[in-house]
C-alpha cells in the first residue's frame, strides 16, 4: 500500500476537542418506535446488525428541563474503532477521542433529535483499493449498527471508496439497499481530481438514477497542502476546496446533466458566497455556458448548504444573502464543534421563529421525510 498521506491538520485552530460532561443528567429509558423495526425504517440493515457488536452504552433521552429534542443535525461525524485503528496517523485529535457516549451527550445538550452521521477527513480511501473497500464496509456497518442500537437518534450517509469506481458502485448498492442509508458522503476532491471530474461519471450516473442525497465534505487536494507555515488545511483550504468542487460540478455540466442528484455542501459552501458573482460571470463565457444552460444562479440555488462552522454573523449573513432559507440545513461538525454553539449562534442572529425552525428541522425533513 502506498505510504500514508502527509497531512498537517492535527490540532487545527478552528476545532475545539470536546470532553464528555463529568456530571450527567439521569437518562430516561429509550423509546423504541414500532416503525423502527420495519424494513425501511430506522433500524438500518440486518446484515450490519449481525456483524457488528452493540455500539455504545449511553441511552437515549430528551434534554432535562427542556422541550423535546427536535433538531436534525445533518453534519455529524462518527469514528468507528476499526477506522481509528486503521487511520490513526491521519486523524485529528477530536476524531480519535470520539465515542458514542460523547456524541449522544452533545445531542441531548443541544436538543438534537436525530443526527445523520458521516466519516470525516481523510475519508476511507488513502491509495489502496482493497484497504479502501474494507475500511468503507467497516465504517458503514458500524454506522448502521449505531442507528439500530439507538432507534430514532441516528441516520447515516454511507461512505464510498472513491476514486475506486467499481468499489464505490458496489457500496452504493450495499449502503442504500441493504443498510437503508439516507444518502452517501463524498469528499470535494480526491488527490488531484474534484467532484465533477469525468472519471467519476459512472458513480454520478448511478447516484442520479437513485435520486440520491449526496453530502459533501471538504478535503485538501495534493496541490494545496502545507502552503503557509502554521496554517493548516482546515483554516483556508477546506472552504476553498468546497468552492473548487462546486465550480467543477457546474462547469463540467454535472449539475445540469444529473438533475436528480441532491447536493449538500458543508460549511455554508465554504468560500462560495464570496465568489458567487464571479461564478455567475464565468458561466456566461462561451467555454462554460453550454454546461450551465439554466445559468449558474439556478444551479447554486438548487444546492443545499449546512451551517457547520458558520454559526457566526459573518457566515450566516453571507449564506442567507446567497440562497433562500429553504436551502440551509442545521449541522454541527461534531466532534469539532459542540451543538450548543449553533443553538446560541443561530438563536442570536435574528432569524424569525419560522425560519429558524426550517433551518433546524423542516428543511432536512423535506430531504429526509422518514425522520418526521
Q: Would you give the distance in Å from CA 163 to the centre of its chain?
A: 18
Please answer whether residues 221 and 194 qualify as being in contact, where contact means their C-beta atoms are separated by less than 8 angstroms.
yes
- Average the pLDDT over each of 15-24, 229-238, 283-292 and give the range with the smallest value: 15-24
Residues 196-238: tens digit of each pLDDT: 999 999 999 999 999 999 999 988 777 777 788 887 777 778 7
> What gap in Å lies between CA 244 and CA 249, rounded to an integer?
9
* pLDDT higher than threshold 70 for residue 245: yes
Specify which residues 329 forms β-bridges with: 306
- Average the pLDDT over each of 10-24, 104-118, 128-142 and give the range with the smallest value: 10-24
Residues 268-284: tens digit of each pLDDT: 999 999 999 999 999 99
Helix ranges (DSSP H) in 283-335? 296-300, 313-322
Q: What is the pLDDT of residue 35?
A: 38
Let me know if residue 17 belongs to a domain.
no
Most confident of 2-16, 20-34, 41-55, 221-235: 221-235
Residues 66-120: tens digit of each pLDDT: 589 999 999 999 999 999 999 999 999 999 999 999 999 999 999 999 999 999 9
Q: How many domains does the chain have?
A: 1
> What gap in Å lies between CA 124 and CA 132, rounded to an integer?
5
Q: What is the pLDDT of residue 9?
A: 39
Q: Would you give the distance in Å from CA 362 to the centre of its chain?
A: 18
Please answer whether residues 153 and 60 qualify as being in contact, where contact means their C-beta atoms are separated by less than 8 angstroms.
yes
Q: What is the DSSP letter of 74?
A: E
Phi-psi region of 98 (alpha: psi -120 to 50; beta: other; left: phi over 0): beta
Mean pLDDT of the region 152-172: 98
Let me know if residue 41 belongs to a domain.
no
Let me know if residue 254 belongs to a domain.
yes
Q: What is the pLDDT of residue 4?
A: 41
Let me know if residue 55 belongs to a domain.
no
User: 71 by DSSP, 3-state: which?
Assistant: strand
Q: What is the pLDDT of residue 49?
A: 43
Let me know if residue 99 belongs to a domain.
yes
Mean pLDDT of the region 5-10: 40
Beta carbons within 10 angstroms of residue 82's beta carbon? 16
Please answer whether residues 79 and 55 qualify as being in contact, where contact means their C-beta atoms are separated by less than 8 angstroms.
no
Mean pLDDT of the region 287-303: 98
Q: What is the pLDDT of residue 90?
A: 93
* pLDDT higher than threshold 50 for residue 344: yes
Let me know if residue 226 belongs to a domain.
yes
Q: What is the pLDDT of residue 17?
A: 42
Q: What is the pLDDT of residue 6?
A: 39
Q: What is the pLDDT of residue 25?
A: 35
Q: What is the pLDDT of residue 67?
A: 80
Domain span at residue 244?
70-371
Q: Would you give the distance in Å from CA 269 to the centre of its chain?
A: 12
Compute, in degrees rounded to 10, the torsion defined by CA atoms 246, 251, 254, 259: 80
Reported as a pLDDT band with limits 50, 70 and 90, residue 55 is low
Q: What is the pLDDT of residue 227?
A: 83
> What gap in Å lies between CA 75 and CA 329, rounded to an integer?
9
Please answer whether residues 276 and 282 qualify as being in contact, where contact means their C-beta atoms are separated by less than 8 angstroms.
no
**Residue recorded with cell 463524498:** 186
* pLDDT higher than threshold 60 for residue 360: yes
Phi-psi region of 309 (alpha: psi -120 to 50; beta: other; left: phi over 0): left
Percentage of residues in the chain having pLDDT higher than 90: 75
Most confident of 1-5, 16-20, 226-230, 254-258: 254-258
> What gap in Å lies between CA 212 and CA 298, rounded to an integer?
20
Specify which residues 154 forms β-bridges with: 115
> What gap in Å lies between CA 195 and CA 258, rounded to an integer?
13
Mean pLDDT of the region 311-320: 97
Let me know if residue 18 belongs to a domain.
no
**Residue recorded with cell 457516549:** 101
Reported as a pLDDT band with limits 50, 70 and 90, residue 54 is low
> What gap in Å lies between CA 27 and CA 135, rounded to an integer?
33
> What gap in Å lies between CA 292 and CA 301, rounded to an integer?
13
Whole-number mean pLDDT of the chain?
A: 86
> What are the cell numbers at 270?
465554504
> What are the cell numbers at 219?
478535503
Residue 276 has, within 13 A of its CA and on its CB side, a CA count of 18
Please answer whether residues 331 and 76 qualify as being in contact, where contact means their C-beta atoms are separated by less than 8 angstroms.
yes
Q: What is the pLDDT of residue 235?
A: 74
Let me know if residue 296 belongs to a domain.
yes
Question: For position 107, which CATH number holds?
Answer: 3.20.20.140
Terminal-to-terminal C-alpha distance of the chain: 44
191 CB contacts (<8 Å, ≥6 apart)? 163, 221, 222
Mean pLDDT of the region 288-303: 98
User: 76 by DSSP, 3-state: which?
Assistant: strand
Amino acid at each position: 500500500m502506498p505510504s500514508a498521506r502527509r497531512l498537517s491538520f492535527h490540532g487545527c485552530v478552528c476545532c475545539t476537542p470536546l470532553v464528555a460532561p463529568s456530571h450527567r443528567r439521569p437518562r430516561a429509558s429509550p423509546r423504541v418506535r414500532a416503525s423502527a423495526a420495519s424494513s425501511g425504517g430506522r433500524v438500518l440493515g440486518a446484515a450490519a446488525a449481525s456483524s457488528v457488536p452493540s455500539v455504545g452504552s449511553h441511552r437515549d433521552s430528551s434534554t432535562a428541563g427542556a422541550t423535546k429534542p427536535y433538531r436534525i443535525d445533518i453534519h455529524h461525524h462518527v469514528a468507528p474503532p476499526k477506522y481509528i485503528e486503521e487511520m490513526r496517523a491521519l486523524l485529528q485529535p477530536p476524531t480519535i477521542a470520539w465515542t458514542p457516549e460523547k456524541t449522544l451527550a452533545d445531542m441531548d445538550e443541544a436538543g438534537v433529535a436525530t443526527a445523520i452521521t458521516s466519516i470525516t477527513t481523510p475519508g476511507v480511501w488513502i491509495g489502496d483499493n482493497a484497504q479502501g473497500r474494507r475500511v468503507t464496509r467497516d465504517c458503514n456497518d458500524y454506522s448502521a449498527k449505531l442507528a439500530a442500537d439507538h432507534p430514532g437518534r441516528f441516520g447515516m450517509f454511507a461512505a464510498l471508496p472513491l476514486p475506486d469506481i467499481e468499489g464505490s458502485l458496489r457500496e452504493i448498492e450495499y449502503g442504500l439497499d441493504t443498510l437503508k442509508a439516507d444518502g452517501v458522503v463524498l469528499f470535494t476532491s480526491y488527490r488531484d481530481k474534484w467532484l465533477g471530474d469525468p472519471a467519476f461519471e459512472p458513480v454520478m450516473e448511478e447516484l442520479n438514477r437513485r435520486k440520491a442525497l449526496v453530502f459533501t465534505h471538504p478535503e485538501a487536494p495534493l496541490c494545496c497542502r502545507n502552503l503557509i507555515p502554521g496554517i493548516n488545511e482546515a483554516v483556508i483550504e477546506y472552504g476553498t476546496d468546497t468552492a473548487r468542487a462546486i465550480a467543477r460540478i457546474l462547469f463540467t455540466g454535472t449539475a445540469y446533466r444529473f438533475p436528480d442528484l441532491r447536493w449538500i455542501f458543508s460549511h455554508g459552501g465554504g468560500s462560495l458566497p464570496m465568489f458567487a458573482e464571479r461564478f455567475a460571470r464565468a458561466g456566461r463565457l462561451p467555454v462554460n455556458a453550454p454546461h450551465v444552460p439554466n445559468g449558474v444562479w439556478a444551479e447554486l440555488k438548487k444546492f443545499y448548504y449546512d451551517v457547520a462552522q458558520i454559526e457566526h454573523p459573518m457566515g450566516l449573513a453571507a449564506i442567507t444573502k446567497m440562497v433562500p432559507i429553504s436551502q440551509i440545513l442545521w449541522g454541527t461538525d461534531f466532534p469539532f464543534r459542540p451543538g450548543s454553539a449553533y443553538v446560541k449562534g443561530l438563536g442570536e442572529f435574528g432569524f424569525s421563529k419560522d425560519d429558524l425552525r426550517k433551518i433546524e428541522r423542516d428543511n432536512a425533513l423535506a430531504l429526509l421525510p422518514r425522520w418526521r
